Structure 1
Amino acid sequence: MNPWLAVSVAGAELWLLAEKAVYWPAERVLLVADAHFGKAAVYRALGQPVPHGTTATNLAVLDTLLARHCCEELIFLGDFLHGRAAQGSASLDALLAWRHSQPHLRMTLIRGNHDQRAGDPPAALRMAVVDEPLLRGPLALRHEPASHPTHHVLAGHLHPVYLLRGAGRQRLRLPCFQLGRQVTLLPAFGAFTGGFAVTRKPGVQLVLASAQGVWALP
């Protein structure tokens, strides 16, 4: 099974990665949606027991992708921080330390609904923060999966997953990319996120992502 799948979207070659991200080789850009950094901290602030270490896991994956691919820019398609409690948390400290290890990487955040509540990341992260859509070549980069009149949309927000059914009661939920005629959805990049189950539809291609690789549903 391949670690990525090259697809053509509005004439742009994009690599759909098993790590639930997209690499755009012509632009040397890595795109991720819905990292939700600090989500565990937000839940712990509410007194709910949740896993530790999700930020470190996400950052380790980013390090792997940035080392594997020739990246000059990292673009977050919304929901970088999960909520206000993520500001000033250990997760933010980890992000700041990680940023120091990537001094030459350009970073851009397209504000999503959670970013509106959490507030913009601190200036020390050296991240450009913009409202949607961000037009880049033939693509409109957004958080919300709303169509654009002139550009094909890459978006997040919905955290698409697909339910694989096996023999008997066997079920497996896998993150997926959803490629439509006007809008392409990325799966949630964050390690501690839920998912919205999608189904096959005419004119929509589903590409599943797992630790073993990516593959398109026939």
Structure 2
Amino acid sequence: MKHQHPLSIGSNTLLLLADKAIYWPQQQALLLADAHFGKAAAYRALGQPVPQGTTSHNLQRLNQLLSTYPTQKIIFLGDFLHAPKSHAPATLQALRLWRAQHAAIACVLVRGNHDHSAGDPPADLNIATVDEPYLLGDFALQHLPISHPTHHVLAGHIHPVFRLQGKARQRLTLPCFHHQPGITLLPAFGAFTGGYAVEHHADSQVYVTDGDCVWPITAAS
């Protein structure tokens, strides 16, 4: 299985990871967007019968990435917590245990629209919070996919997915990375999220992932 796919942007080579994140080797940085920790807890608080354990599952996936890629910094591209009710005790306890395991890794949250309503992570998680754009090297790290005048944008927000068309009425919708001039979109890292279907254009590249493999899509796919 091909768990990663290189993407060259200027003098940088980013690794698009099958588990819906980006690894930036030059910075030893792991980038992920739209984790939406505590989303299920927020829905349960509203009386919706949604599954438990999504935060723990997402953190296990993140742990696996950290065990694979040497990481000095994790940058969350917005929507770390889903809503005010995501500050549920079980959710925060899981996050605190995870953070204690990785205390030496710097964490930065570029605030997204859900962060403005949910509030910043608790101070004891030791996650620095900044407004967009967060400029690092050649990139503008953002939540919203809005172009930047001098830097290539890495962003999330829309939870991009791509619809693969098979024979007859067969269709498969998968999370994807969407690379365009000036902007590269990351799929939502959170497992309990929806998606917005993007289209393949002549000046764009689409890389889909099924969680185990990531591969480029040609215009004819």
Q: TM-score range by the shorter chain?
A: over 0.9
Instruction: Give the drift of 1:211.
Output: 2.5
SS in 2 for 1:187: coil
Q: Whole-Å Cα distance in 2 between the matches of residues 192 and 88 of structure 1?
A: 17
Q: Is the 8 A contact 1:41 1:89 kept in 2?
A: no
1:195 maps to 2:195:
yes
Measured in 1, the distance between the counterparts of 2:9 and 2:210 equals 22
Shift of 1:43: 0.6
1:136-162 Cα offsets, whole Å, 9 max, x none, are 011000000000000000000000000
What code does the residue aligned with 1:87 have? H
Question: 1:34 aligns to what?
Answer: 34
Aligned residue for 1:44, secondary structure, equals helix
Q: Deviations over 1:72-129 (max 9, x none)?
A: 0000000000000011331111001111111101000000000000000001100100
Question: What is the deviation of 1:168?
Answer: 2.3
The answer to whether the 8 Å contact 1:160/1:177 transfers is yes
**Do 2:39 and 2:82's aligned partners in 1 also have CA atoms closer than 8 Å?**
yes
Per-residue CA deviations over 1:154-176 (Å, capped at 9, x if unaligned) read 00000000011112222111000
| Separation in 2, partners of 1:189, 1:212 | 14
Structure 1 position 62 matched with structure 2 position 67: no
1:212: Cα distance to partner? 2.9
For structure 2, the residue ranges without an aligned partner over 5 or more in a row are none
The separation in 1 between residues aligned to 2:125 and 2:49, in whole angstroms, is 28
**Aligned amino acid, residue 2 of structure 2:** N
Could you list the structure 1 runs, at least 4 aligned residues long, displaced by more than 4 angstroms after superposition. Answer: none
Match of 2:184 in 1: 184
What code does the residue aligned with 2:15 have? Answer: W
Contact 1:15 1:23 in 2 (8 A): yes
| 2:178 is the counterpart of 1:170 | no
- Is the 2:38–2:88 contact (alpha carbons within 8 Å) kept by the matching residues of 1? no
Tell me the alpha carbon deviations over residues 164-193 of structure 1, each in whole angstroms, 9 at most, x when there is no partner: 111222211100000011100000000100
Q: How big is each residue's C-alpha offset from its partner over 1:35-88, in whole Å with a ceiling of 9 and x where there is no partner?
A: 000000111111111111111111001100001001000000000000000113
- 1:214 match: 214
SS in 1 for 2:191: coil
List per-residue Cα deviations over 1:178-217 (Å, max 9, x = no partner). Answer: 0011100000000100000111112110000113300001
Deviation at 1:7, TM superposition (A): 1.0
Unpaired segments ≥5 residues, structure 1: none
- The amino acid that maps onto 2:107 is M
Measured in 1, the distance between the counterparts of 2:85 and 2:180 equals 35
Instruction: Give the aligned residue type for 2:35.
Output: A
What's the TM-score once normalised by structure 2's chain length?
0.97
Contact 2:41-2:88 at 8 Å conserved across structures: no
**Whole-Å separation in 1 of the counterparts to 2:67 and 2:212:** 19
Question: 1:26 is paired with a residue of what secondary structure?
Answer: helix
Could you tell me the percent identity over the aligned residues?
A: 54
Structure 1 stretch 72-81 or stretch 97-106: which is displaced more? Answer: 97-106
Q: Name whichever of 146-155 and 80-89 sits farther off.
A: 80-89
Q: Is the 1:10–1:139 contact (alpha carbons within 8 Å) kept by the matching residues of 2?
A: no
- RMSD of the TM alignment (CA)? 0.8
Letter in 1 for 2:184: T
